[in-house]
Chain A
Amino acid sequence: MILGIDVGGTHTDAVLLDGRKVVKKVKVLTNPEDLGSSLLEVTRELLEAVSPGEVTRAVLSTTISTNAIVQNKVSPVGMILANGPGIPPSLLAIDENSQFVSGYMSHRGIPVTPVNGREVEEVAGKLQIKGIEQVGIVSKFSSRNPRLELDIEKAAGSRFRHVSLGHRMSGNLNYPRRIATTFLNAATWEIFRQFVDVINAFMDSFEEKFPIYILKADGGTLEINQSVKYPAQTILSGPAASIMGILSLSDCGEDAIALDIGGTTTDIALFADGVPLLEPQGVTIEKHKTLIRGLRTKPIGVGGDSAVRYEQGSFVIGPERLGPAAAFGGPGPTPTDAIIVLGLAATGDRKKAEETLKPLAERAGLSLEAAAEEIFNGACRLISAAVSEMIEAVNNKPVYTIHELLEGRILKPKILHVVGGPAEAMAPRIGEILDCTVSIPPNAEVANAIGAALSRTTTELTVLADTEKQTLTFVEEGIQIPISSTFSREEARELCLDHLKKRALSFGAREEDLEMEITEDQSFNMIRGFTMTGRNIRIKAQVKPGLMADFGKGGPG
């Protein structure tokens, strides 16, 4: 049996699953001061229905890192940055603890200027005097060659309790994002480590152990003790839990749209052949644009409780929420009130809903029914328009080859999965507008916990081979090995998949869940003066976000 727990901002949801069957579900209010206590509370309750020996794994989705960042309860971090020429340092610094040192790596991963050990020691000393215990070390193009970061770590690392290295965060290029990601990782390390300690201590109280996983922003899981190295990967796992939940409840294997219609906002996600789409670069949290792999979601300010006004001849819906719907004792009209007036949902106080809409209807010169219809339609249209925009953005993403430009895959979702309070009432109309079949999955109220429970372990790996330099780099692992000048693209692919597998297993993946794919596969002939001098090979592979082998499409239901 599997435990799935989602510690959300308001509620902590937990499920005990036997196969796909929900044996028990628990919902408690989250204690924002002590997330660990909410977690332990629901876990204890679930474990009343099963003995720990029968549990094969538990997966947690937690807002611990997210909250620490949003509420600015993170540790101060010293950033040691080898930036070299390019955009100005003022646009790279996180705060006054960002220190710039010499050292420059070229785009080909060739060190142009080495690290100056004495300068690094000096900078580290300054940070140490300030009482800083966590540092992030990031060099430009460290995802081409980690050398400078490793050299800086060697010169300064021992002075600090924790060091986050840029190249371990992501194999992608983008220096400002790599700096932000490394900063967040170092900044949340302490608070996340303490959280893991609490869980480990709790687990120690059981005779029989089971592995615990943490859900990441990309909808994949990571073994809890491994996750201590990568706390930044766990931010924004909440929306990922919902999306994975929809995936697990709907048997989605094709292009699809997922909507989570809440009170204030509606979250939109998209699937391509049943695989949730990822943010092209990485997630954004507060002001930080990062390289953290995350599921692509788009929130819009329309939900069941959005405030409705009548302005300049039309109804304006959202984006603010003033309180619950009038039918539930709230201050003013909302789409939920319109839904109740139209008889699309038999909840709340219908009379209050009618009363709150009446003045609006009069001002609009419409009957009560007609006004409710217009508000309801308006909310559905806003959501549909945002969905269309998101699909268009995905289909218009820049591509860099003629082949992709002319024959690129176009996302054409024909199925709409909807969860959330107003799902039953609004889904049919939205489906009509978007020309999609509608599905409302069962157990939707604990979709997030189910999603966390059933997600597989994911990771990615970038392999760069430069046959002119005769070097191969496993970027995220910070390892370089020599290769021959005849090293081929096929060999690079093989090596990449082989190491990806090892990497995933070390993160806690099960062999049978390793659905791997190559996501980038390029080889360029390097021409210098009408002669080919080598090949520049770039391979990226991932374990796709998805459900564990027995629970995906086609598995036993």
Chain B
Amino acid sequence: MSDTRRTGLVFFPAFDWAISPTHPEREERLLYTQDQVFEEGLLDFENITEYKPGLATLDDVNRVHICVPEAARVATESHLISAGGAITAADKVLSGEVDNAFALVRPPGHHAMRVVHGARGFCNINIEAIMVEYIRKKFGRLKIAIVDTDCHHGDGTQDIFWHDPDTLFISVHQDGRTLYPGTGFPKETGGPNARGTTVNIPLPPGTSEEGFLFTLDNLILPILDEFKPDIIINSAGQDNHYSDPITNMNFTARGYAILNDRLRPHIAVLEGGYSVETALPYINVGIILAMAGIDYGYVKEPDYDPQKLKQDNDVTAYIERLIPGLHDQWKQQESLKARTLTVGSQEKRERSIYYDTDNIHEEQIETVRICEDCGGLLTIDSMASTGNRIFAVIVPGGGCPLCRKEGEGMFEATKSGSIYRYVYFQDTDRDTFITR
């Protein structure tokens, strides 16, 4: 077993936490995964080490999010442990204690956007984004790629890194025309200062192992080769599985294992996946074995039937047309950047955001300063159906002196009270977070 890797596992099933008594994000969710991982004896392998999750701090949350009214009201202990688990995984990898690590934690986070008025898509805070900014705070401004393989578009993670040219966000998911959250189309390629570093790959319902691995080999891996990230993160949702109750894909445990074997993520973080009994136990065993470089060829679901899961020809044809097109689009990113606006000018994005889990509507206007030296100064004017209207001034990580100076000025000039209930100032590099 010469190609085994040292793999860290942060396992935190939160057996005493659920969103509500019969919600899918429930105590039982990782129960059978625990059983399978224990029964297979994975924790006895010399190259697999289990770690207890740390607790993320509110500072870790405030480095990424604008929580309304404040982080402590949005992020409960369970969320801080989940984010803390991801941070522990990152720490073990970046300190060199292990070669890669898997944070098998819940609750998930990839639908949580930068501004948080409540929970959406079962997520309150974005555990990967918090981990990414923690990594940069502690280990320097690394180039990071996040490959989101959850069946749902990782709209929260996309939103947070939309303007960040140093973070490549690739989401492969079931086509948004057929599934929550209804976004993640190829034309969504990132903000004006980070054009091209968001890549969306909507796959048709019925995509099987064949289609996912075709996408991996012909699009995701080539893009990663060109972007040359320091760290690759797999946002490892497991709801592309053929048995998942709320999606329509045909991916398998074996497929997830092959994907992780080829992708070679430094860190994998569990996201969604609610086929708790017939998918998760096998997928997670597959991912752990693949990450650790142990033979996963015998991993399969008890009812696995390759004939039944064979991909339809029209699905194959669709994917084989889609992928080359997306690769071309990626390669044109430089010219896309050249077409952007004049430095110093502003670009606006207006959106309505729905928080399905908490039934909150948000209207948001986001303004970014066009900048050649950083992700650009960001301001957000956000009004939620809770009655909270807020204004946030955000100096991005790696922010340039000009954007910072302008941001500090804007924060000075904006008063809370009359229009805005709260005004926030976030300076990621300096770890400054002020609420007024």
A-to-B contact residues, CB < 8 Å: 84-91, 104, 106-108, 112-113, 140-141, 144, 172-177, 281, 289, 396-403, 405-406, 522, 524-527, 529-532, 536
Provided the pairs A85-B302, A532-B22 are in contact, do residues A401 and B16 lie with their beta carbons within 8 angstroms?
A: yes
A104, A107, A406: which has the most chain B beta carbons within 10 Å? A107
Q: A87-B298, A104-B302, A173-B38 are in contact. List 11 more A-B contacts (CB 8 A).
A: A85-B299, A107-B32, A113-B302, A174-B41, A176-B40, A176-B41, A400-B11, A401-B14, A401-B16, A402-B16, A527-B24
A500→B26 CA distance, assembly (Å) = 31
- Check if A526 sits within 8 Å of B298, measured CB to CB: no
Q: Which chain A residue has the least Cβ–Cβ distance from B31? A: A524
Which A residues touch B41, using CB under 8 A?
Answer: 87, 174-177, 289
Q: Which chain A residue has the least Cβ–Cβ distance from B16? A: A401
A140→B27 CA distance, assembly (Å) = 24
Q: Does B139 contact A (CB under 8 A)?
A: no
Q: Does B188 contact A (CB under 8 A)?
A: no
Which one of A86, A112, A531 contacts B299 once the chains associate, using CB atoms below 8 Å? Answer: A86
- Check if A399 sits within 8 Å of B22, measured CB to CB: no
Which B residues touch A173, using CB under 8 A?
Answer: 35, 38-39
Which A residues touch B14, using CB under 8 A?
Answer: 400-402
Complex A-B, nearest 8 residue pairs according to Cβ-Cβ distance, in ascending order? A176-B41, A112-B302, A173-B38, A107-B35, A401-B16, A173-B39, A524-B28, A88-B295
A281→B39 CA distance, assembly (Å) = 12
Which A residues touch B32, using CB under 8 A?
Answer: 107-108
Q: Does B300 contact A (CB under 8 A)?
A: yes
Provided the pairs A524-B31, A525-B21, A536-B28 are in contact, do residues A86 and B285 lie with their beta carbons within 8 angstroms?
A: yes
Q: Does B318 contact A (CB under 8 A)?
A: no
Which A residues touch B282, using CB under 8 A?
Answer: 85
- Check if A88 sits within 8 Å of B298, measured CB to CB: yes
B16, B17, B24, B35: which has the most chain A beta carbons within 10 Å? B35
- Check if B15 sits within 8 Å of A527, measured CB to CB: no
Shortest distance in angstroms between A284's beta carbon and chain B's nearest beta carbon? 10
B24, B31, B42: which has the most chain A beta carbons within 10 Å? B31
Q: Does B91 contact A (CB under 8 A)?
A: no
A176→B282 CA distance, assembly (Å) = 17
Which A residues touch B40, using CB under 8 A?
Answer: 86-87, 175-176
Shortest distance in angstroms between A472's beta carbon and chain B's nearest beta carbon? 17
Q: Does B289 contact A (CB under 8 A)?
A: yes
Which one of A87, A400, A406 contacts B15 once the chains associate, using CB atoms below 8 Å? Answer: A400
Q: Does B44 contact A (CB under 8 A)?
A: yes
A-contact 0/1 string along B167-184, CB 8 Å cutoff: 000000000000000000
Q: Does B12 contact A (CB under 8 A)?
A: yes
5 contacts between A and B (CB under 8 A): A85-B299, A87-B299, A173-B38, A176-B40, A400-B14
Which A residues touch B388, using CB under 8 A?
Answer: none
Surface stretch bound by A, among B46-54, B120-128, B208-216, B259-267:
B46-54
Which A residues touch B27, using CB under 8 A?
Answer: 524-525
Q: Does B346 contact A (CB under 8 A)?
A: no
Which B residues touch A85, using CB under 8 A?
Answer: 282, 298-302, 304
A-contacting residues, B1-34, CB 8 Å: 11-17, 21-24, 26-28, 31-32, 34
Q: Which chain B residue has the least Cβ–Cβ distance from A408? A: B52
Q: Does B372 contact A (CB under 8 A)?
A: no
Which B residues touch A399, using CB under 8 A?
Answer: 52
Which B residues touch A396, using CB under 8 A?
Answer: 52
Q: Which chain A residue has the least Cβ–Cβ distance from B25? A: A527
Which A residues touch B23, using CB under 8 A?
Answer: 527, 530
- Check if A406 sits within 8 Å of B77, measured CB to CB: yes
A531→B28 CA distance, assembly (Å) = 13
A187→B23 CA distance, assembly (Å) = 49
Q: Does B218 contact A (CB under 8 A)?
A: no
A-contacting residues, B263-281, CB 8 Å: 277, 281
Provided the pairs A174-B39, A174-B41 are in contact, do residues A398 and B11 lie with their beta carbons within 8 angstroms?
A: yes
Provided the pairs A176-B44, A400-B13, A530-B24 are in contact, do residues A87 and B51 lie with their beta carbons within 8 angstroms?
A: no
Which B residues touch A522, using CB under 8 A?
Answer: 15
Shortest distance in angstroms between B62's beta carbon and chain A's nearest beta carbon? 21
- Check if A402 sits within 8 Å of B44, measured CB to CB: no
A529→B276 CA distance, assembly (Å) = 11
- Check if B53 sits within 8 Å of A405, measured CB to CB: yes
A90→B296 CA distance, assembly (Å) = 12
Which A residues touch B301, using CB under 8 A?
Answer: 85
Shortest distance in angstroms between A537's beta carbon and chain B's nearest beta carbon? 12
Q: Does B367 contact A (CB under 8 A)?
A: no
Provided the pairs A176-B41, A289-B44, A527-B28 are in contact, do residues A402 and B21 lie with their beta carbons within 8 angstroms?
A: no
- Check if A402 sits within 8 Å of B78, measured CB to CB: yes
Q: Does B245 contact A (CB under 8 A)?
A: yes
Q: Does B224 contact A (CB under 8 A)?
A: no
- Check if B302 sits within 8 Å of A405, measured CB to CB: no
A175→B298 CA distance, assembly (Å) = 15
- Check if A108 sits within 8 Å of B277, measured CB to CB: yes
Which A residues touch B39, using CB under 8 A?
Answer: 86, 107, 140-141, 173-175
Which one of A281, A402, A406, A527 contacts B22 once the chains associate, using CB atoms below 8 Å? Answer: A527
Shortest distance in angstroms between A210's beta carbon and chain B's nearest beta carbon? 41
A347→B50 CA distance, assembly (Å) = 47
Q: Which chain A residue has the least Cβ–Cβ distance from B21? A: A525
B55, B295, B302: which has the most chain A beta carbons within 10 Å? B302
A-contacting residues, B297-323, CB 8 Å: 297-304
Shortest distance in angstroms between A440's beta carbon and chain B's nearest beta carbon? 35
Shortest distance in angstroms between A398's beta carbon and chain B's nearest beta carbon? 5
Which one of A89, A402, A525 contacts B28 once the chains associate, using CB atoms below 8 Å? Answer: A525
Q: Does B36 contact A (CB under 8 A)?
A: yes
- Check if B11 sits within 8 Å of A87, measured CB to CB: no
Provided the pairs A176-B41, A405-B53 are in contact, do residues A400 and B297 lie with their beta carbons within 8 angstroms?
A: no
- Check if B28 sits within 8 Å of A87, measured CB to CB: no
Which B residues touch A174, using CB under 8 A?
Answer: 38-39, 41, 44
Which A residues touch B26, using CB under 8 A?
Answer: 525, 527
A524→B277 CA distance, assembly (Å) = 13
A141→B14 CA distance, assembly (Å) = 23
Which B residues touch A397, using CB under 8 A?
Answer: 52
- Check if A106 sits within 8 Å of B302, measured CB to CB: yes
Shortest distance in angstroms between A252's beta carbon and chain B's nearest beta carbon? 28
Shortest distance in angstroms between A441's beta carbon and chain B's nearest beta carbon? 35
Q: Does B353 contact A (CB under 8 A)?
A: no
Q: Does B360 contact A (CB under 8 A)?
A: no
Q: Does B131 contact A (CB under 8 A)?
A: no
- Check if B15 sits within 8 Å of A401, measured CB to CB: yes
Which A residues touch B17, using CB under 8 A?
Answer: 402
Which one of B12, B78, B298 contacts A400 once the chains associate, using CB atoms below 8 Å? Answer: B12
Q: Which chain A residue has the least Cβ–Cβ distance from B39? A: A173
Shortest distance in angstroms between A91's beta carbon and chain B's nearest beta carbon? 8
A86→B78 CA distance, assembly (Å) = 31
A-contact 0/1 string along B334-377, CB 8 Å cutoff: 00000000000000000000000000000000000000000000
Q: Which chain A residue has the least Cβ–Cβ distance from B33? A: A107
A204→B299 CA distance, assembly (Å) = 55
Shortest distance in angstroms between B323's beta carbon and chain A's nearest beta carbon? 31
- Check if B21 sits within 8 Å of A398, measured CB to CB: no
B16, B53, B245, B281: which has the most chain A beta carbons within 10 Å? B16
A-contact 0/1 string along B110-135, CB 8 Å cutoff: 00000000000000000000000000
Which B residues touch A91, using CB under 8 A?
Answer: 294-295
Which B residues touch A106, using CB under 8 A?
Answer: 302
A140→B282 CA distance, assembly (Å) = 14
A529→B245 CA distance, assembly (Å) = 8
- Check if A107 sits within 8 Å of B36, measured CB to CB: yes
Which B residues touch A113, using CB under 8 A?
Answer: 302
Which B residues touch A530, using CB under 8 A?
Answer: 22-24
Which B residues touch A87, using CB under 8 A?
Answer: 40-42, 285, 289, 294-295, 298-299
Which B residues touch A403, using CB under 8 A?
Answer: 16
Q: Which chain B residue has the least Cβ–Cβ distance from A281? A: B44
A289→B53 CA distance, assembly (Å) = 26
Which B residues touch A398, using CB under 8 A?
Answer: 11-12, 50-52
